[in-house]
């Protein structure tokens, strides 16, 4: 036979369970999908768009010594990109082609393109993969690893693990601003867990795509965490447009 005490106890237990279930459900609903966050943030750095081109001016410093600036032109589609050196004049005509997981470099005088790794440096601290394209959603598997405030921005913190050995980095820790959906900071790690480089991103320009105005990267500052070195990439002349597939043909290099 149930007493009044049993009934009250049962009511309290039921209320507690209901509260726990409500909190759990609310939390589950509020937690964003990290891979969707990543895919959305890629667009502001040229990833996932049908066709886009821009120029990059790279300025580097190593151990207090300023290196000669370079100007590069980038053309990209979802699965391929082409980077051509415009300045300095002695490097003009050097090209880097990325198609799927593969990369090649060529320069005037070479008889045929040479396969290279996305991890190989192209200018200063910027690797081939940093310059060629940004498609983190394709190259990395993302998990949500908490939240953190960076420079006044409330951010989701993502852990990115390389999907295969052809990606630029083994592991990336990536901060995406909640209100803007933009990646504002990244840390790049080796397979052993050593922090190699960090980067900060600024978005002071926009592009038009599908009738929408999208913020686009204007500056990327990369700092070496092992040596005294720094590279700044300034992005300009951005255009979203169709690009012929022949541009990304290995035979055309």
Report how far residue 157's alpha carbon sits from residue 197's, in angstroms, rounded to the nearest whole number. 17
55 and 10 housed in the same domain: no
User: How much of the chain is in helix, strand and coil states, percent to nearest 5?
Assistant: 25, 45, 30
Tokens of 125: 């601290």
9 and 63 housed in the same domain: no
Name the nearest CA neighbour of 19 among 30, 7, 27, 8: 27
Tokens of 48: 């996932």
- Count of structural domains within the chain: 2
24 and 3 housed in the same domain: yes
Between the CA of residue 19 and those of 11, 16, 22, 69, 194, what are the distances in Å?
12, 5, 5, 60, 43
What pTM was computed for the model? Answer: 0.83
Domain range holding 89? 34-252
130 and 205 housed in the same domain: yes
Under 8 Å between Cβ of 237 and 54: yes
Most confident of 24-33, 109-118, 175-184: 175-184
The reported pLDDT for the residue numbered 47 is: 86
Report how far residue 253's alpha carbon sits from residue 249's, in angstroms, rounded to the nearest whole number. 7
89 and 186 housed in the same domain: yes
Position 252 pLDDT exceeds 80: no
Helices (H) and strands (E) counted in the chain, each on its own, are 4, 18
Q: What is the pLDDT of residues 205-236, one digit of tens each?
A: 999 988 989 999 999 999 999 899 999 999 99
22 and 76 housed in the same domain: no
26 and 38 housed in the same domain: no
Write out the H or E segment, with its range, that includes residue 161.
strand 153-162
80 and 96 housed in the same domain: yes
The reported pLDDT for the residue numbered 113 is: 94
80 and 156 housed in the same domain: yes
Query: Given the structure tokens 């541009």, which residue do they identify?
Result: 247
């Amino acid at each position: 036979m149930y007493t009044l005490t049993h009934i009250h106890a049962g009511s309290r237990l039921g209320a507690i369970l209901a509260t726990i279930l409500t909190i759990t459900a609310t939390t589950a609903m509020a937690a964003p999908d990290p891979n969707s966050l990543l895919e959305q943030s890629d667009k502001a750095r040229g990833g996932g768009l049908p066709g886009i081109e821009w120029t990059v001016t790279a300025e580097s410093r190593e151990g207090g010594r300023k290196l000669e600036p370079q100007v590069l032109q980038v053309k990209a589609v979802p699965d391929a990109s082409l980077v051509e050196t415009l300045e300095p004049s002695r490097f003009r005509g050097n090209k880097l082609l990325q198609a799927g997981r593969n990369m090649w470099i060529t320069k005037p005088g070479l008889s045929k393109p040479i396969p290279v790794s996305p991890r190989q440096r192209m200018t200063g601290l910027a690797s081939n993969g940093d310059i060629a394209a940004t498609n983190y959603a394709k190259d990395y598997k993302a998990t949500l690893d908490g939240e953190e405030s960076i420079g006044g921005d409330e951010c989701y913190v993502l852990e990115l693990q390389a999907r295969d050995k052809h990606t630029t980095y083994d592991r990336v820790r990536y901060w995406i601003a909640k209100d803007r959906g933009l990646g504002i900071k990244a840390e790049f790690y080796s397979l052993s867990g050593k922090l190699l480089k960090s980067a900060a991103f600024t978005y002071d320009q926009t592009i038009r795509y599908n009738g929408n105005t999208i913020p686009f990267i204007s500056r990327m500052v990369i700092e070496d965490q092992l040596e005294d070195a720094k590279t700044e990439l300034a992005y300009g002349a951005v255009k979203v447009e169709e690009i012929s597939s022949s541009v990304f043909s290995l035979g055309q290099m």
